[in-house]
Structure formats: C-alpha cells, structure tokens
Amino acid sequence: MSDITYLGAFLGGLLSFLSPCVLPLIPSYVSYITGVSFDELKTGDKAVIRRLTLVNSSVFISGFSLVYILLGVFSSFVGHILSAYYDVIRIVGGIIIILFGLEVMGILKIRTLMGDHRVHLHSKPRGYFGSFILGLTFGAGWTPCIGPILGSILLYAGTTGSVGYGFKLLLIYSLGLGIPFMATALAINSFLSHYGAIQKYMKIIMILSGLLLIAFGVILLSGKIMILVKLAPDLAPKKL
C-alpha cells in the first residue's frame, strides 16, 4: 500500500503543477525569482541565465517544499494524537477527499475551495533569500487548484498517525511539483512556445486529478475491506 500511496503523492504533485492555477504562472515566477525579463530570457547570455534559473529555482522549490513537509508532519502528529478515533477520521477523510475529487472535475462547486488565498508580494527581497521567501509564500498560498489535491494528501497523512510517513508522503508530493517546475524553468523558451498546445488538454488533466483524489478517498474508505482481503487466506477453514 505504501508504494501505491507514494506514487499517488508524486502524481498529485505533478497534476498540481499542471493545474490551471499553477502552469500559466510559471513564466512569471521564473522571471520574478531570477530577476530576468521575458525578453532577456529569450535573448540573454544562456549560461548566466541557466545558472540564475537553476540556483534560484532550487531555493524557491526548497521554500514551498518546507511548507508542505511541515504540514504533512503536523497532520500526521495530530492524527497520532487522535488515533483512538481512527475509524471516524478515516471515513470522514475519505468522504471529504472524494468530494474534493468531484470538485476538481467540475461536478461539484465548493465555494471555500474556489477563492484565491495566495499572498501577493509586490516586491521580492533580494538574492536567494528572496527566492526562498517567495517559495514559502507560494506554498502557503494554496491556490484553488492545488488546495483539493494537497488537502487530500494531508488528510491521508493524518489517518496514518505516523510522523515519518507524513514527512515522506509530502516530500514526494513536493518532488512531484518541484521536478517539473525545475525542468520547465530551465527550458522556459520551449515551454512558452508549446504552452498553447498544453492548454488544450487542461480539461483532461483536471479529470485525471479528480480521479486521483477519488482513488485516495476510496483507499481510505475501504481500509477495513482491504485488511479483510489480506487476512482471508488465513481465516479460511483448513481442508482436512
């Protein structure tokens, strides 16, 4: 089960990156954290721009990863405290995650998930520290499209009651979001030229995101069933 949920967390990060709340903002974030304009990104010294992009993107990714990992640890810690109510948390969490999935697919409209909670920085502090602060801000913002996916993974981490598992789960989610961000930042010119084609598949991406969340919800709701299935061979009467 751990391998499946780790894969799901990574895919959740990847689908968060591809969401319409994040993908269109990538060029702006790259320009902002590097301090290089769009024109300079296209025509400037490629070696210098690549170095600026690599270092600043790494620091930016570290910033939002720290936020997500701390949230994962906190969720797991709270889940451990409330372990006596595991079944209730599992069932309620599973239902909420399924509702999140339906919302992402556009079947439901949950108002609390539709508002934009990002913190907007009017001026970036200088240097790598500024990129790190912007990463923290991005992570804390929880844009509408990231919210359901990230919230679902945090709910799942909370049901495990294991701080170590919550740490690893959100680390993998952060990698799923951070790796394509880094790749896109380093190939920003190619991204800008192909972005129109990617937009055509946005509806499919959101449907896949919703199905992933529903799968997480089903995993939680079917917890006891899966345990019984594993125990079935041992519980079956032995033939004489």
Residue 93 has a CB neighbour count (10 Å cut-off) of: 22
Whether the pTM exceeds 0.85: the reply is no
- The residue among 25, 29, 26, 32 whose CA lies nearest residue 126 is 32
Torsion of CA 173, 191, 146, 223, to 10 degrees: -40
Residue 229, pLDDT score: 36
Distance CA(150)–CA(39), nearest Å, equals 34
Residues of the chain with pLDDT under 50: 1, 114, 224-240
pLDDT digits (tens, 9 = 90+) for 41-97: 767 677 888 888 899 999 999 999 999 999 999 988 888 888 777 788 788 888 888
Distance CA(48)–CA(239), nearest Å, equals 73
Average pLDDT score over the chain: 78
Residue 114, pLDDT score: 47
Q: What is the largest CA-CA distance in the chain?
A: 80
Confirm if 37 and 52 have CB atoms less than 8 A apart: no
Q: Could you tell me the sign of the dihedral formed by the alpha carbons of 124, 129, 133, 134, in that order?
A: positive
